[in-house]
Amino acid sequence: MAPAGSVSSYYADIDVAGWQVDGSVFECLLTQQIPGFGQAVFYHQAGESLRFYLQTPDSPMQAGRALLTSQPPVWRQELAVRDLGYVDVEISKRPVTLTAQRSRMLMAELERGMVPTLMRGAWFNDQESVHVGLSPVHFGGAYSQYHTCTASLLPVNFGQIERSTVFWQTNQQELDEDMKAQLDNIVTYIEADPAVYGFEINGFTDGAGNPRENFELSRIRAFAVHQYLVDQGVNEDMLNTRFFGSAPQFRIVENERSAADRDRNRRVTVRLLRE
């Protein structure tokens, strides 16, 4: 908690307070500039959970635990202050980062017209505390735009699908619905990102059985993925498909000792190439 003494306050005054929405199918940001401090950002990346963070070139706050409160705005002083708990503060350009649950709580307080405020001691003076507050001015309209943005986010982001693995049951040769759903997410992503220019598809089996038959099985599985992507509209010229059977050097678990080891090795990998 912040020590007693003088207070350095960072708030956006009512005449300059506002929220800006920026976004695409890849990410959505809801941002407020905090004069003298930096930015408050609600950030939602495709395929990930919402998070909130403070961005500053030079944080005045000590590392440790900051008290998070919900303060009434100056024009609604009849409202009660609410304590929202403690949050971690780090010495970095993003001193505070909150989980999805805490982020939604801040949004709810802003919708109520309150001023969520962090209170923490200053690193440069033990007798000074730092208050960083978010203004609710113009939040409602921006929040509506932000919701429109998040509704159009892709189901996944590039980092989640750049290297994908489709696992297979013993002797399975056809894609099941879960596999198709996994590949559908890849197709949905590349339709939105023209920077993706190619795929590397590689088929592998476990070490059980006849090596020649395994080689053919890895081919069937790799081209099952290949053909499904083509059927969903992917340009076949983008696909480089190979298969390696049960060659030990390509196994995830080289010396298989259990069914679980073999499960890991029966796979088709899909790597996206991006500019």
Domain stops at, among 125, 151, 177: 151
Do residues 116 and 167 share a domain?
A: no
Domain stops at, among 95, 128, 151: 151
Q: Calculate the average pLDDT of the chain.
A: 94
Domain stops at, among 151, 178, 200: 151
Decide if 222 contacts 235 (C-beta within 8 A).
no
Do residues 11 and 145 share a domain?
A: yes
| Domain carrying residue 12 | 6-151
Do residues 11 and 144 share a domain?
A: yes
**pLDDT tens digit sequence for 67-114:** 999 999 988 888 889 999 999 999 999 999 999 999 999 999 999 999
Do residues 267 and 185 share a domain?
A: yes
Share of residues in the chain with pLDDT > 70 (%)? 98
Reported as a pLDDT band with limits 50, 70 and 90, residue 124 is: confident
Do residues 46 and 94 share a domain?
A: yes
**pLDDT tens digit sequence for 179-191:** 999 999 999 999 9
Q: Is residue 1, in this structure, part of any structural domain at all?
A: no
Do residues 110 and 162 share a domain?
A: no
**pLDDT tens digit sequence for 13-59:** 887 889 999 999 999 999 999 999 999 999 999 999 999 999 999 99
Do residues 215 and 140 share a domain?
A: no
Q: Domain tally for the chain?
A: 2
pLDDT confidence of residue 4: 52
- What b/e readout covers 91-120, taking b as 16+ CB neighbours within 10 angstroms? eeeebbbbeeebbebbbebbeeebbbbbbb
Do residues 167 and 234 share a domain?
A: yes
Q: Which two tokens stand for residue 117?
A: 């405020």
